[in-house]
Structure formats: structure tokens, C-alpha cells
Structure 1
Amino acid sequence: MNDYADAYINYLVEFHTTRDYFECHELLEEHWKKQGRDDPHAAAWVGLIQLAVAQYHHRRGNAAGARKLLLQAIPRLRPEGTNPLGLHGERLERIVRAVLARLEAEGDHAPYADMELPIASPELESLCRQRAAELGLEWGRPSPMDDRQLIERHKLRDRSDVILARAEAAARRGAKRASD
């Protein structure tokens, strides 16, 4: 037994192996929602989700979207929130600020680079590397920049359940307004 949630370990594995930042977002968002607003790590979870989405946008050439998300993530990725998650918070903050500075200086011309999250906990790093090995994944593998399935994942996923849920919510709101 360890102190790290499976979803978090899986997030770190995806972040450092497949570079599937969309999947990182999905994994940690589900965990964050299950934990609820009283979770002491809620802000850090949101910051890490935003960081993954920023990487997704940057790799796709959407520098403006990446900048916006990094600006939102920085206050949530403070060392006091990320150190308890086994990360080296001060280094993480420097890394994120450096990426943001490069995006602000170079805009759409800022070349994409994979990010390595600085894991401070030897236990956490061991768990992540072990999980990666079990899955046959290479730790630190660079992004496959020609994989459209990975880079355009948001356009290719099945969203029928989301569309249905939104339509049902809109219908409920409409029915409520009509009865008021």
C-alpha cells in the first residue's frame, strides 16, 4: 500500500511515457471530481490537469491556449500544494514559469518541448516507473509529433454521452423555467 492514488500514478505514467496529455487530463479530472471540494489537494489536481491540457495545446500549435492555461495553473501549482504530492514544487514552478515565458516571448513560434515533472519522492518515482514497465511503456519517451490520433484526440473521441447529458440538462432547465 502507498499514499498515492492510482489515478495520480497513472497520470504521471501517461505524462512521462505516452505523452497523451488528453488522457492525463481525463484521469486526473475524474479523480479530482471523486475527491470533492474538501480534498486538500484539489487546487494541485486542477493545476496538474491544466498543465496537461496546456501541453496538449502547445503541441498542437495553440500557443495562446497553452499560455492561458499555464497562467491559470501557476497559482494552483505552488510548492506547498505540490510537495505533499511527491513533486519537487519549487522546480515544478520554475519549469512552468520558463515554459510560460518562452510562450509569451515567442508566441506561436515557440517550439513545443516535452515536460518532465520533477518527482521528488523516490517511492512515487519507483511506483511510476514500475507501472510504466508493467505496461511496456518507456519512461521519458519523446512525444510522437506525427501521431494525429494523439495530437488531435479531442476531435476524434466519442462525445455522444456528453452531448446527451448536456441536452438532458438543457431540457430540465427549460422545464423548470416553464413551470416557474
Structure 2
Amino acid sequence: MIYPFSYIQFLCHFHGDRDYFECHEVLEEHWKKSGMERSSIWVGLIQVAASLYHYRRGNMRGAVKLLTRALESLSKKRSELHALGINYSQLMEILQKSLKHMKKSRLYTAIDLPIQDAELLVICKERVRRHGSSWGRLDDVWDEGIVHKHLAKTHEKKTVIQPKQ
């Protein structure tokens, strides 16, 4: 099966460096290039990543809101998730469990997406390994640059480089 490169990047960030902000960025760009339908599967996956970003930062309200929307959206995408190599039933179970944890304000815990396409899994794991990370680490990443990445991105956008005179 052939998958969009952006999707592979998303999976690698999601399971490797756990950079959920970057997951959002790569899929949002793909979504925009793909026609920007609000009902797109890409929106549901973006919402999952954004929810986990908020969850890790302690923003339970934002995390719950986004994951609730993601569940609603992805629940209608069984065949599309299957086409992306994801086990639909396992994904719904994982996301519902994570949502319960968020609602109870439990400490953030990383989740893994249930990839059922063995070839896709091998490709992603190898890519993550080549980038110096490990797939599905339980210890997760608490690097401030990743946890609060939106702050750095906001600062980047405000930085203006003046031309040489």
C-alpha cells in the first residue's frame, strides 16, 4: 500500500519523538493541499495529535474538547482508517480510554496508534530509528522545546529578518 509521505511523517513524530505539534503541522499542510474538507480523515488525526499536545501540557479542557471531536469524526471513518493501515476498533478503544483519563485529570500518558499494516510499521520504525529515536517509548518526551513548541513557533513568526543594506 502507498501512503502519503506526510502521513508517514505524522506517524513517525507521533510514535518516535512524540512531537504532537509537528504531527499537527505536517498533516495540516497535507490537508490543505488535499482540498480542506472539514470532514476529512486528516482533520480527525490532527485533532488526536492536538489533543495529546494539550493533554501533556495540562490543558485538560482543550484536550477533552479536541479528543471528543476527533472521536466523533473518526467514528465515521472505519474504511478510511483501514485504508491508512489503522485498526479501527482498537483505535476507538484507545481514544475512549485516553478521553476518560483526561476527564479524570489523570497524568498524561502517551498512546500508540494501532497500525495493522506490517509494511507501514517497518517503514516508520526504520525512519524513527534513523532519526535517533525509538518507536513507542513509554518514558515519553518531556523536552520543553517539544512540550511548549507553540510558544517557539509563535516567536518564530514574530521574528523579522531585516535585509542587509
Matched, 1:66 2:63: yes
CA–CA distance in structure 2, aligned partners of residues 156 and 37 of structure 1:
26
Matched, 1:49 2:46: yes
Aligned length: 154
Q: TM-score, normalised by structure 1?
A: 0.80
Matched, 1:149 2:148: no
Q: Corresponding residue for 2:35?
A: 36
Which 5+ residue runs of structure 2 have no aligned equivalent? 160-165
Which 5+ residue runs of structure 1 have no aligned equivalent? 162-180
Q: Corresponding residue for 2:12?
A: 13
Q: Deviations over 1:150-175 (max 9, x none)?
A: 111101111239xxxxxxxxxxxxxx
Matched, 1:80 2:79: yes
CA–CA distance in structure 1, aligned partners of residues 15 and 110 of structure 2:
9
Q: Corresponding residue for 1:92?
A: 91
Q: Deviations over 1:55-110 (max 9, x none)?
A: 00000000110000011101222323311110001100111111112222x1x3x1
* Aligned 8 A contact 1:54 1:70 in 2: yes
* Aligned 8 A contact 1:43 1:77 in 2: no
Q: Which amino acid aligns with 1:81?
A: E
Structure 1 or 2, whichever has the larger Rg, is 1
